[in-house]
């Protein structure tokens, strides 16, 4: 598998998802939209988002809607990749990322950020702020459950709404 990038690869951006077969599950958690991209035919795929990673498109703190801002795909044996514009556009993605929206997150840190973003999103949704007691409860409820972002938002909303106690 060769690393081939088109000349237009944005500088300063890091790929957030590398080579995969099968469908990528980036459907919007709220709308229930189907997966945006089927990678099954690609040997290598890289996605670039306009904001931080770790949460489904459309809910990010930077508010981009509709999915990745750009996708570079390199099919097996191809010499160059192709660029597919997303809902916001490639240029804006470069601007957002070049300015930096926080530390880079990998592995566990990405999961940590997803949980943190889930709490913040639930706060926005309910118009309430979590107390330390509620944050503790949130962590008690998600302990070792392996919840995804959408599930954690629901739990946080339930706590803030007094439905989980």
Partner 1 sequence: MDIRAEIRNAISSLNGKAAWGLVRTHGSMFFLEMGNPISRPSQIKPHGESHFLVELCHWRFEASESVLVGSEDDPTFIDATFDNLKLGYVQDAEILIPSHDLQIKFSSGIVFKTFTTSTEATDQWTQWQLFGPEEYVWISDGGGHLQRKKRDEPVRT
46 φ, ψ to 5°?
Answer: -130, 135
In sign, the C-alpha dihedral spanning 121, 122, 126, 132 is: negative
Q: Are 39 and 68 in contact (CB under 8 A)?
A: no
Rounded least distance, CB 146 to partner 1, Å: 8
List beta partners, residue 85.
Answer: 70
* 153/97 Cα distance (integer angstroms): 25
Nearer to partner 1 (CB atom), residue 71 or residue 155: 155
Interface characters, 129-158, with partner 1 (x: CB under 8 A): xxxxx-xxx-xxxxxxxxx----x------
Nearer to partner 1 (CB atom), residue 94 or residue 130: 130
Rounded least distance, CB 4 to partner 1, Å: 29
Quick check: 55 binds partner 1 (CB under 8 A)? no
Quick check: 12 binds partner 1 (CB under 8 A)? no
DSSP letter string over 60-128? STT---SS-SEEEEE-TT-SS-EEEE-SS-HHHHHHHHHH--S----HHHHHHHHHHHHHHHHHHHHT-
Scan residues 97-126 and list those touching partner 1 (CB under 8 A). Answer: 100, 102-103, 106-116, 120, 123
Rounded least distance, CB 132 to partner 1, Å: 4
Q: Are 61 and 48 in contact (CB under 8 A)?
A: no
Interface characters, 56-95, with partner 1 (x: CB under 8 A): ----------------------------------------
Can you give the binding site for partner 1, defined by CB under 8 A? 100, 102-103, 106-116, 120, 123, 129-133, 135-137, 139-147, 152, 165
């Amino acid at each position: 598998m060769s690393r081939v990038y088109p000349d237009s690869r944005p500088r300063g951006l890091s790929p957030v998802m590398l080579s995969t077969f099968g469908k990528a599950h980036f459907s919007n958690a709220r709308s229930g939209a189907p997966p945006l991209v089927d990678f099954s035919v690609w040997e290598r795929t890289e996605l670039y988002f306009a904001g931080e990673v770790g949460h489904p498109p459309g809910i990010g703190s930077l508010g981009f809607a509709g999915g990745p801002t750009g996708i570079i795909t390199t099919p097996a044996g191809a010499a160059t990749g192709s660029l597919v514009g997303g809902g916001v556009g490639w240029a804006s993605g470069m601007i957002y990322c070049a300015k930096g929206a926080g530390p880079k997150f990998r592995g566990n840190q990405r999961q940590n950020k997803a949980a943190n973003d889930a709490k913040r999103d639930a706060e926005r949704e309910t118009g309430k702020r979590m107390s330390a007691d509620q944050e503790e409860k949130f962590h008690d409820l998600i302990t070792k459950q392996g919840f995804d972002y959408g599930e954690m938002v629901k739990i946080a909303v339930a706590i803030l709404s007094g439905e989980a106690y």
